[in-house]
A and B are shown apart, each in its own frame.
Chain A
Amino acid sequence: MPVFTPPPLPSEDKRWKIVNGTMRKNGFARHALIETLHTVQSSFGYLDDDAIRFVANSLRVPLSQAYGVVTFYHYFSLKPPGKHTMTICTGTACYIKGTDKLLAAAEKHLCVCEGQTTKDGLISLSTARCVGACGRAPVVLTDGELQGQITSEQLIAQLERWAAE
């Protein structure tokens, strides 16, 4: 039986070594697909075609299947994120406390819809299904940092601070 040799790294970028490390740790097993995609996303911020192709080839998973997995899970993003990310939680507790107003205010202020990045690539606006901090609802994640009991004014102020940087 021919011995499988994983494909070479796509570029000199050191981050590919981290990605390769995850696959090696799992013995290049097919079931390591999601684990590896997590590593790609945490290293690069998003998943592009090259990355998906590389991971699929390395793990001997059909490209269609790898792409299917990427698009199935909300956590994976095919587009590069903005410099800053504003994630608004839309879980039930936050909904009861009026998160729809926060989202509407942010969308209006940034002129983008949820899931999009401003044209200058500065701010990405996204929603989360529930970040599990319901005791502090409504909550947002500003660059991953949790802020509870937030008002529309505070949210806009944060967006303006980023824009002024």
Chain B
Amino acid sequence: MTFEELEQIAESVRLANAKYDHEINVCMGTGCLSQHSDKLKDALTAAVDAQGKNSFVRRTGCMGLCAAGPLVLVDPDEILYQHAHAEDAETIAASLGGEPVAELQCNLREHFDEQVHIVLENSGHIDPEKIDDYIARDGYKALLKALTEMTPKDVIQQITDSGLRGRGGGGYPTGLKWGTVAKAAGDMKYVICNGDEGDPGAFMDRSVLESDPQRVIEGMAIAAYAVGANKGFIYVRAEYPLAVSRLTTALRDARRHGLLGHNIGNTPFNFDVEIRLGAGAFVCGEETALIASIEGKRGTPKPRPPYPATSGLWGKPTLINNVETFANIAPIIRKGGRWFAGIGSERSKGTKVFALTGKITNTGLVEVPMGISLRQIIEGIGGGVPDGHKLKAVQTGGPSGGCIPAHLLDIGVSYDALVRIGSIMGSGGMIVMDDTSCMVNVARFFIEFCMTESCGKCIPCRAGTAQMHTLLTRICKGTGTMDDLELLEDLCSTVKEASLCGLGQTAPNPVLSTLNHFRDEYLEHIQHKRCPAGVCNMEAPVEVMA
């Protein structure tokens, strides 16, 4: 595959698309598929044919606004239809070239206007199972550019200049990580894509893998070239069957096009990727545990150092990055590190994809520039809390993160700002809670999660989370005491300081952040045996004051 051949494919796709007056894109991400958007697509294809419209119906990946699904986007007029079902197909087809169907039209301009799409630039515009669609939108240009015009050092320099930081949650500078692996001695190196999206309430990686799998593969190939690896693994959760099947198709197509395999782009560079299925263990999101899992073992973490960069998979230098990190690579190489560094805040560059869920009007996937305020995300893009309820807190970072109270909504979203207020960026789950959520119960929910998911290798995490869960359950039942609270805080610091891996070290965060910002709720549970949100079932009878 050469630049000319890529351009030929892109041109033929463009010519084929230009023949049609309209392109009808039907979202077939998991959210819309669960509402039978596949039937809608078939109905639209039939309706367009029956009415003799010169239009083309395309299956696409996630368009983001899951709350309004199934979604249909008609190009070039950019008309978005929401809650479209198979029985609406005739009406939509009939409206082509005329007035749009008013009752189905989605007019959420502010939802889309404030977003900046880099990772999701192709989501909703291409067929995820057609590599030619990806190539037509500048796909694989970055890989060929890297292979033919840049040295591995140049590639790493561009990534370093871009200021990209790991999107899995840790925020480690990507360029630095690549540099370390590149410098590590050894003729065999590996590149691993971490798609073990275990955080409950997060589905960014799933969406990227389902909507634009080639982008992740291209990012991995560029990384492999930069660090000197020629074997890659994508570790995906088995709970994501659609992502696995689309990835399998994508890998096969990339091989057929000579974009994976031997002598890629007529250069001496060889690279291939294999899929490895996760088996439902949250701890496998931790890099050393993930490596153990790829090796076919129990996914228990190892002490670091040695870091995977020097001794990872089968003891070889290994580069591990998250799905979203890899998805950012191709645009950076194409447009330059400086371009990327121009987006975002001072120490957090680029954009971040968030899965906006919970008590919010526009649930779904959003991509925003770093530094944007939480208020803009929640009240602007998200459309605020529905049903007249009041926002109480925003939870970021999953079980490793914390709850941000409503009065801190004006802070800008960046790695450092979120840490300062007791939460973390995490992989991108953003769960909105209103006044019907009890923060003590939320803390208990997360500790229960960590307790079940603790691999059991180190005692602080294994026993500590279990004890914390007992204490929190007691408080939720109204039988907790002030001594329990003190013990809980004590345990938080022990588990945090003494645990082996990230799971245990961050497990107390939801407790600490709720204790910090919502201490009155804990006190209410303990002293007055009362749950202000009315969530917890108190054992002792509650005396209601008239």
Q: Which residues of A contact B (CB under 8 A)?
A: 30-35, 37-38, 61, 65, 68-69, 72-76, 90-93, 95-97, 128-137, 139, 144-148
Q: Determine whether the beta carbon of B279 is less than 8 Å from that of A73.
A: yes
Taking a contact as CB atoms under 8 Å apart, the answer to whether B298 and A72 are in contact is: yes
Contacts A35-B277, A68-B298, A91-B201 given; does A132 touch B239 at CB 8 Å: yes
Interface residues of B in 272-307 (CB under 8 A from A): 276-282, 293-299
Known: A38-B238, A148-B35. A130 touches B280 (CB 8 A): no
Let me know if B358 and A31 touch, CB within 8 A.
no
List residues 8-67 of chain B with CB under 8 A from any CB of chain A. Answer: 30-31, 33-35, 66-67
Q: Identify which of residues 346-367 in chain B touch chain A, using a CB-to-CB cut-off of 8 Å.
A: 355, 357-359, 363-365
Docked complex Cα distance between A96 and B433 (Å): 7
Assess whether A30 is in contact with B201, with CB atoms less than 8 Å apart: no
Residue B197, interface by CB 8 Å: yes
> Are B30 and A146 in touch, CB under 8 angstroms?
yes
Q: Are B277 and A31 in contact (CB under 8 A)?
A: no
Q: Give, as a whole number of angstroms, the nearest-CB distance from B54 to chain A.
A: 33
Q: From residue A76, how far is it (CB to closest CB) to chain B in Å?
A: 6
Closest CB in chain B relative to A96 CB, distance in Å: 4
| Chain B residues in 8 Å Cβ range of A144 | 241
Q: How far is the CA of A93 from the CA of B357 in the complex (A)?
A: 6
| Cβ contact within 8 Å between A92 and B445 | yes
Question: Considering the chains assembled together, what is the distance between the CA atoms of A137 and B31 in angstroms?
Answer: 10
Q: Which of B237, B277, B358 contacts A93 (CB 8 A)?
A: B358
The reply on B178 being an interface residue by CB < 8 A is no
- Extra contacts besides A38-B238, A92-B398, A132-B203 (10): CB < 8 Å: A69-B296, A75-B278, A96-B431, A96-B433, A97-B359, A130-B198, A130-B201, A133-B66, A135-B357, A148-B31
Which of A75, A91, A93, A95 counts the most chain B CB atoms within 10 A?
A: A93
Give the distance in Å from the alpha carbon of A58 to the alpha carbon of B280 in the complex: 24
Q: Is B522 an interface residue (CB 8 A)?
A: no
Q: Give Cα distance in the complex from A95 to B442, angstroms.
A: 9
Q: Which residues of the partner chain B approach A75 to less than 8 Å between Cβ atoms? A: 238-239, 278-280
Q: Report if B190 contacts A (CB, 8 A).
A: no
Bound state CA distance, A91 and B398, in angstroms?
A: 10
Q: Mark B229-251, 1 if CB is under 8 A from A, else 0.
A: 00000000111110000000000
Rounded to whole angstroms, the CA-CA distance of A47 and B457 in the bound complex is 25
Chain B residue with Cβ nearest A32? B296
| Residues A90 and B200 in contact, CB atoms below 8 Å apart | yes
Q: Given A35-B276, A38-B277, A92-B445, verify A132-B202 contact (CB < 8 Å).
A: yes
Q: Mark B192-221, 1 if CB is under 8 A from A, else 0.
A: 000001111111001000000000000000
Name 7 A/B residue pairs within 8 A (Cβ), A-sorted: A93-B201, A96-B359, A96-B433, A129-B239, A130-B239, A135-B69, A146-B33
Shortest beta-carbon distance, A4 to chain B, in Å? 17
Contact status of A135 and B364, CB under 8 A, knowing A69-B297, A72-B298, A74-B280: yes
Number of contact residues on B: which range applies? 35 or more
Contacting pair A135 B203 (CB below 8 A) = yes
In contact, B357 and A129 (Cβ under 8 angstroms): no
B361 to A: closest C-beta gap in Å: 12
Shortest Cβ gap from B62 to chain A (Å): 9
Interface centre among B206, B241, B281, B357 (most CB of A within 10 A): B357
The answer to whether A73 and B299 have CB atoms under 8 Å apart is: yes
Bound Cα distance from A146 to B206, whole angstroms = 15
Q: Which of B416-431 contact A (CB under 8 A)?
A: 429, 431
Tell me if B297 and A91 are in contact (CB < 8 A).
no
Cα distance A90–B282 in the bound complex, in angstroms? 14
* Complex interface: chain B residues within 8 A of A69 (CB): 296-298
Residues in B whose Cβ lies below 8 Å from that of A139: 34
Distance (whole angstroms) from the CB of B150 to the closest CB of chain A: 33
In the complex, what's the smallest C-beta–C-beta distance from B331 to chain A, in angstroms? 24
Query: Cα distance A33–B299 when bound, in Å?
Result: 13
What residues on A are CB-neighbors of B365 within 8 Å? 135
Are the CB atoms of B34 and A133 closer together than 8 Å? yes
* Known contacts A129-B198, A132-B30, A148-B35; A92/B429 CB under 8 A: yes
Chain B residue with the shortest CB-CB distance to A37: B279
Closest to B456 in A: A72
Question: In the bound complex, how far is the Cα of B237 from the Cα of A133, in angstroms?
Answer: 14
Contact A93 B200 (CB under 8 A): yes
Q: How many Å lie between the Cα of A97 and that of B434 in the bound state?
A: 11
Contact A134 B279 (CB under 8 A): no
Q: How far is it, in angstroms, between the C-alpha of A38 and the C-alpha of B276 when the chains are bound?
A: 10
Q: Please tell me which one of the listed residues B197, B202, B277, B364 contacts residue A34 in the complex, with CB atoms under 8 A apart.
A: B277
Complex Cα spacing A61 to B431, Å = 42
Contact of B395 with A by CB under 8 A: yes
In the bound assembly, the distance between CA atoms of A75 and B432 in angstroms comes to: 29
- CB closest residue in chain A, given B295: A31
Q: Are B293 and A34 in contact (CB under 8 A)?
A: yes
Residue of A nearest to B297 (CB): A69
| List of B residues within 8 angstroms of A135 by Cβ | 31, 66-67, 69, 203, 355, 357, 363-365
Q: Is the CB of A146 within 8 A of B34?
A: yes
Nearest residue, chain B, Cβ from A73: B279
- Nearest-neighbor residue (CB-CB) of B432 within chain A: A96
Contact A92 B355 (CB under 8 A): no
Nearest-neighbor residue (CB-CB) of A137 within chain B: B357
Task: State whether B239 touches A31 (Cβ < 8 A).
Answer: no
A33 to B297, CA, bound (A): 8
